[in-house]
A and B are shown apart, each in its own frame.
Chain A
C-alpha cells in the first residue's frame, strides 16, 4: 500500500526532517546566541554554543528598554483591536448575510472594493487624521484604523451564509427579533469563524509594524514590535541582549501558536492575509 506513490517514505522523512531543521535553525541559533557573551557571538572562529550559559542577558535586556510599558501597549493594542474587529465584523457580516435592508448590495460592494487598496497608500492620510485628532502616541491612535475590518466583515459574511437558514427562520417564527436571533443562535454557531478571525487579528496585531512605527514616536508609547527595532538600533552591537529581547517579544505568539496550532493553521489558511 505504501508503495502506491513510489517507494518507501524514507526520502520524505529525510527531506522533511532536514528542511524542518533548517526552518527552525534561526530560532535555535537565537536561543543559543541569547545565552552567550557578546565576545562569543562575534568570535572568529565561529561558536555555535555558549561556554557557560549567561542567563543574566535576559534581565539585562529587559532593563535596557521600556519593556514593561511596551508590553502593556502591545497587550492593549492587540486586545482592543481583536475584540473590536471580531465584534463589529460579526455584526456587519451577519447583517450583510442574513438581514434585509435597502442598499445592502451597493454598500457591501463599496466595502469590498477597499480590499484592493494597499494599506500603504492610505498611511499619509490616516496619519493626518490621527494627528488632527491629537491621538499620536496614544493607544487610541494605534488602534484607530484597526477597529474595523473589511476583510473580517467579508469573512464573517461568508461564514454566516454557510449556516442553515432554517435556524434563523425558526427563531423568527418563535418571535425572536433579529438581535436576539443573532446573539442567542447565530453567534454561538459562528464560533469557529469567530475564533479563526480572532486568531488572525491577534497574531497580526502583536507583530504589526509600519502603522505603529509612524504613530508611536516615544519609546514608552510603542508596542514591542516597534520597540524591539529601536532597541536594536540603540544597542547595535550587544547581540546577546538583542537576541534575548527579540525572543521574549516572540514568545507569547509562539506559545499561542503551538498551543492552538490546528486552529491557527486553519484560520490563516482560511484567510491568506499574511503580508
Chain B
C-alpha cells in the first residue's frame, strides 16, 4: 500500500521533460556565465584571446581608478534623480484615484505610453529636444527668460538630463503600481480623517502615504535596481564620441566601454562584479530599512 502511494506521488519522466529546456538554457546561458564572469574578473585577456590568471589585480586597479569612482557617482546621481518619479507618481495616482473622476483610462494611456516605447528610438527624440542651440527644452525655458545650458555637453548636467528621461519612462509604471496600492485603502479612513478636520495635504501625508508603504517599497526597490543598471539612455543620448562621456558614464556604461570598446574583458568582468555587489548591497540595505518604515496590515 505504501509502495503504491509512493509511486503515485511522482509523475515519472514528464516533469523532467517539462523543465528540460529551461534547466539546460539557464545552465548554459546564466549559471555557467555567472561563474565564468567571476573567473574572468581575475584574469587578463591577451590581444588574440586566451586568458591569464592575475589574481586580484583587476580589483586593485579599479579601487584606484578615478573612472570607477566617477561612474559610481554618476550612477548614484542618476538613481537619486530618477527616484523623484515616486513622489510624483504618488501624487498623480491619488489624483487619478479620486471618486467620480472621468476619463481615467484616457489619462492612464497618456502617462503609460512612455513606458512602452523603444528606448533607442525615443532617445533620438530627447537628444534633439535637449539640443543646446535649437532644442525645444531651451526654447521653452527662453520663453520664461532662462538661458538653458548645452544639456548633453556639460558634465553633471548631462547625467541629470538623461535622468529626466529616466523619470519620464518610469513614471507611468510607478503610477499604476501605486494606484493599485491606493485602491486597497478603505474609504472609512479618509472619512474619519476628514471628520477630524484634516486638510487634503495632511490626508495625503498621514493616511495615504503610510498605508501605501508596501507599494512604495516595491516601486522603490524596482526603480533603484533598474537605475543602478542604466546603460541604453546614456549610450544613446550621450554616446561614445561625445567628449563629456568620461564625466557622464555610469557603471554599466563603463563595463560596456572596457569590455567591448577597449576590449579589456578581464577588467570589465571585475566592473561587472562590482555592479552585482552594489546592487546586492543596496537591495540588502533597502530590505533592512524596510522594517523601520513599511507597514504591512
Q: Which of B40, B121, B255 contacts A246 (CB 8 A)?
A: B121
A104 touches B22 (CB 8 A): no
A243 touches B124 (CB 8 A): yes
A268 touches B11 (CB 8 A): no
Chain A residues whose C-beta falls within 8 Å of the C-beta of B15 in the assembled complex: 95, 99-101, 104, 178
* B256 proximal to A (CB < 8 A): yes
* A52 proximal to B (CB < 8 A): no
- Assembly CA distance A26 to B110 (angstroms): 12
* A20 proximal to B (CB < 8 A): yes
* A58 proximal to B (CB < 8 A): no
- Assembly CA distance A254 to B12 (angstroms): 45
Fill in one digit per residue for A243-275: 1 if any B CB lies within 8 Å of its CB, else 0: 101110110011011100100110011001011
B122 touches A122 (CB 8 A): no
- Assembly CA distance A139 to B10 (angstroms): 39
* B95 proximal to A (CB < 8 A): yes
Q: Which of B96, B112, B256 contacts A16 (CB 8 A)?
A: B96
Chain A residues whose C-beta falls within 8 Å of the C-beta of B11 in the assembled complex: 99-101, 178
- Assembly CA distance A107 to B118 (angstroms): 35
B111 touches A253 (CB 8 A): no
* A159 proximal to B (CB < 8 A): no
Fill in one digit per residue for B140-165: 1 if any A CB lies within 8 Å of its CB, else 0: 00000000000000000000000000
- Assembly CA distance A269 to B255 (angstroms): 30
* A145 proximal to B (CB < 8 A): yes
- Assembly CA distance A21 to B111 (angstroms): 9
Interface of B, secondary structure class, is helix
- Assembly CA distance A247 to B199 (angstroms): 45
Fill in one digit per residue for B208-223: 1 if any A CB lies within 8 Å of its CB, else 0: 0000000000110011
- Assembly CA distance A203 to B174 (angstroms): 18
* B117 proximal to A (CB < 8 A): yes
Fill in one digit per residue for A68-84: 1 if any B CB lies within 8 Å of its CB, else 0: 00000000000000001
A124 touches B268 (CB 8 A): yes
Chain B residues whose C-beta falls within 8 Å of the C-beta of A164 in the assembled complex: none
- Assembly CA distance A233 to B120 (angstroms): 12
Chain B residues whose C-beta falls within 8 Å of the C-beta of A144 in the assembled complex: 29
Q: Which of B21, B114, B139, B199 contacts A91 (CB 8 A)?
A: B21
Fill in one digit per residue for A2-28: 1 if any B CB lies within 8 Å of its CB, else 0: 101111010111011101110110110
Task: Please name the 6 residue pairs, one residue from A and one from B, whose CB atoms are nearest each other, closest first.
Answer: A275-B226, A148-B25, A125-B33, A20-B110, A246-B121, A95-B18
Q: List 21 A-B contacts (CB under 8 A).
A: A13-B101, A15-B95, A16-B92, A20-B107, A23-B114, A26-B129, A33-B128, A46-B136, A91-B21, A95-B15, A99-B15, A121-B34, A124-B268, A129-B29, A149-B22, A209-B232, A228-B120, A229-B123, A246-B121, A261-B112, A264-B116
Query: Which residues of B are interface residues toward A (Cβ below 8 A)?
Result: 9-12, 14-16, 18-19, 21-26, 28-34, 36-37, 40, 91-92, 95-96, 98-101, 105, 107-129, 133-134, 136, 139, 168-173, 176-177, 180, 187, 190-191, 194, 199-200, 203, 218-219, 222-223, 225-227, 229-232, 235-236, 239, 252, 255-256, 259-260, 265, 268-269, 272-273, 275-276, 279-280, 283
Query: Which residues of A are interface residues toward B (Cβ below 8 A)?
Result: 1-2, 4-7, 9, 11-13, 15-17, 19-21, 23-24, 26-27, 29-30, 33, 41-44, 46, 48, 84, 88-89, 91-92, 94-96, 99-102, 104, 107, 110-111, 114, 116-118, 120-129, 144-145, 147-150, 153, 177-179, 182, 203, 206-207, 209-210, 213-214, 224-226, 228-229, 232-233, 239, 242-243, 245-247, 249-250, 253-254, 256-258, 261, 264-265, 268-269, 272, 274-275
Give me 14 other A-B pairs in contact (C-beta within 8 A), A111-B22, A178-B14 excluded: A9-B101, A11-B95, A19-B92, A29-B136, A46-B139, A124-B272, A125-B32, A128-B36, A129-B33, A209-B231, A225-B118, A225-B121, A239-B128, A249-B120
